[in-house]
Amino acid sequence: MKIKHFYLIASAALLTSCYAPKRDCTDFKTGEFTFNYEINGEKKTGRFTRDEKYSVEYYENKVDSSSVRWINDCEFVLKSLKDQSSIHFKILETTSDSYTFEYSNAARDPKKELIVMKGKAIRVKK
């Protein structure tokens, strides 16, 4: 009886460890997207348009432009054209019309703790 339970648990662990979320990142290199964010407890929606070289974000009546440098199909760095700060993005999972990502400061400061945030972008149009 114990052996039967062992094989059942081992099989379940093996099957769940083999699961990998879908990542078809090339579909999301360009297009127009929306994203949700929170400032001081207030939920807001912003949008951005990205092509092969640039990304333009629209949020809180502001416009922010960045250059885009793709590291691979699922990772890229946005470098602000205004203040030259860089943010590293990694696409974690995709669906037909959205992707989940994590992002952090691209410039690592050994004196500061690395903070990694998550978000979701939803495609408005290709």
Q: Helices in the chain by DSSP H: which ranges?
A: 2-17
* 61-86 pLDDT per residue, tens: 899 999 999 999 999 999 999 998 89
Radius of gyration, alpha carbons of the chain: 19
Q: Where are the domains of the chain?
A: 22-125
* 14-27 pLDDT per residue, tens: 555 555 667 889 99
CATH architecture of 22-125: Beta Barrel (2.40)
126, two tokens: 């290709």
| CA pair distance 43, 53, nearest whole angstrom | 29
- Return the residue matching tokens 């379940």: 12
| CA pair distance 64, 27, nearest whole angstrom | 23
Helix, strand or coil, per DSSP, at residue 95: coil
* Residue 6 confidence (pLDDT): 47
0.75 exceeded by pTM: yes
The one-letter amino acid code at 119 reads G
